[in-house]
Structure 1
């Protein structure tokens, strides 16, 4: 699957609405990146995870707009509730994604079903996530 289902887009809008009102959900944050064409800010929910002391986010749809925008800009605002942090996003090469993907089921258990239900990963195991390395984007979050 190369693009998210409409149901995910609707769920994302609800999560964004709640987060902007100071109601954080689980480990979710909002990632705001400038649109590569419009220059307008674009926001999507993400669940950062920490692996070996570095923070990462996974883009389940490597051809999705927020991933393309992150690649083009390299900069974003990561927010949770009322807290905002300006960050750099550095895409990790496919060969280095496996440890981050393997950690996702343990570090972000509430996010696993979304990846499985939308077909991004074949199953909820670390092996299932690791196998998705060629089809997803993984970004390291760096302080700006």
Structure 2
């Protein structure tokens, strides 16, 4: 069964504040508001995310596991990232588990202060073998901006 960590009430309040500040153009440490079409409704669904840039590539990591935004992005294959008035459309490709360890390591290096609790004792110094063992619990997408 895919990993999924349900947000607590406190998480909902925190996510709401991060989303609001990001929409106002004051992103928390580079956060963005992700918008993806719902897989059944077709309506836009939003949530705050922490995009990660590594060597010219950008990634979205799902620290809570297979969430609704992950399922929606798998179905849609594209979405939007917003901060302030800037909206960026992108396409997404999900990475294979074997490709995730270096991405998960950098994600933990950048965002462990916020999402480390979802990684059950892992950190930026965890061996690749350990990161590979849990890779299936953390969906990762490479995102590419759609040129207009």
Which TM-score bucket, shorter chain as reference?
A: 0.7 to 0.9
* Equivalent residue pairs, number: 140
Contact 2:49/2:60 (8 A) holds in 1: yes
Name the CA distance, whole Å, in 2 between partners of 1:42 and 1:11: 17
Partner secondary structure for residue 126 of structure 2: helix
Q: CA deviation at 1:63?
A: 2.0
CA gap 1:121/1:115 in 2 versus in 1, 3 angstroms: farther
Q: Report whether the alignment pairs 1:98 with 2:82.
A: no
Contact 1:62/1:137 (8 A) holds in 2: yes
* TM-score, normalising length: structure 1: 0.86
Name the CA distance, whole Å, in 1 between partners of 2:83 and 2:69: 18
Match of 2:28 in 1: 25
* TM-score, normalising length: structure 2: 0.84
Name the CA distance, whole Å, in 2 between partners of 1:143 and 1:22: 19
Partner secondary structure for residue 127 of structure 1: coil
Return the index of the structure with the highest Cα Rg. Answer: 2
Structure 1 range deviating more: 3-12 or 80-89: 3-12
Q: Report whether the alignment pairs 1:112 with 2:104.
A: no
Q: CA deviation at 1:38?
A: 1.3
Contact 2:66/2:137 (8 A) holds in 1: no
Q: CA deviation at 1:48?
A: 1.1
Where structure 1 has 5 or more consecutive residues not aligned to the other structure, the ranges are: none
Where structure 2 has 5 or more consecutive residues not aligned to the other structure, the ranges are: none
Contact 1:115/1:121 (8 A) holds in 2: no
Superposition misfits of 4+ residues, deviation over 4 angstroms: none
